[in-house]
Amino acid sequence: MLLKLCDFLGIAYLPVDERESLERKFTFPQRLVDKIPIWDILGEYDAINKKVSIYGNAIESFTEALYQQKVLDDIFQKYSKDFVTLIIHELVRLHEHAHALAHCGKLVFGGAENCEEWKEFLNAPKELKEPIAEFIVYAAIKENKFEDMEKIFLEADKFTPAFYQRWKELEKKIAEKWIEIGKRHIAPILGVIRGEKIDSFDKLLSEVTYDKLQPMLVESILYQFAEKRPPSSFFQI
């Protein structure tokens, strides 16, 4: 399945270069366990060259491991193994493009200093970057309303280190103030990260408040309907 990663309100993102690669092979353990950075084994975002790599052999191996260990058994009964592989392939693409979006997506607010890209991305800790990418992936899945893809994402995500899964804390905090989690919250969150020079996920959580996000959310929505809106960023990934 091809998902639209973008057209986030208030973000203009042109997809970075992407390549399929058979270079990386990964042998998964006989028993899948926690603390495997699965998304960044199956794919990679090169922030220096702004390029996404997707590792097809590793994706096939991971799907086979899920199948053999009867993880997502109901999904494998519903879909062929090849189709599940395709869904996981698209989840990996979403994850890596989410990194690129967080890095170089252009905001329409926050001043010229912060609108072009997240300047501290290269030096930001993975404990901050990974849950942000996961949150973007989750928002994109919810926007497309593909329940089985969401189920596969949530199940595969259980094998990641705990800090990857902290996106759920961000989801919970936003849900306390807004009715639903959607793509339009991504731009204000990136605005907070860039404007406040966030260097940890705990600091991000403390800065994500209604008072800070709401003005940016309103501004991005208004800009969406202005005459000088950015070119449509609809594209298939």
> Which residues fall within 8 angstroms of residue 25, CB to CB, at 6 or more apart?
55, 57, 58, 61
Q: What does the block give as tokens for 224?
A: 């969406």
The pLDDT confidence band at residue 4, using thresholds 50, 70 and 90, is: low
Min mean pLDDT across 13-17, 30-34, 74-78, 208-212 is at: 30-34
pTM of this structure = 0.87
Q: What's the confidence (pLDDT) of residue 115?
A: 67
Judge whether residue 54 has pLDDT over 90: yes
Q: What is the mean pLDDT of residues 20-25?
A: 80
110: left (phi over 0), alpha (psi -120 to 50) or beta: left
What would the pLDDT profile of 78-112 be if each residue is shown by its tens digit? 999 999 999 999 999 999 999 999 999 888 765 54
Q: Select the more confidently predicted residue: 142 or 97.
A: 97
In the chain, domain spans: 11-224
Question: How far, in Å, CA of 114 to CA of 156, rounded?
Answer: 33
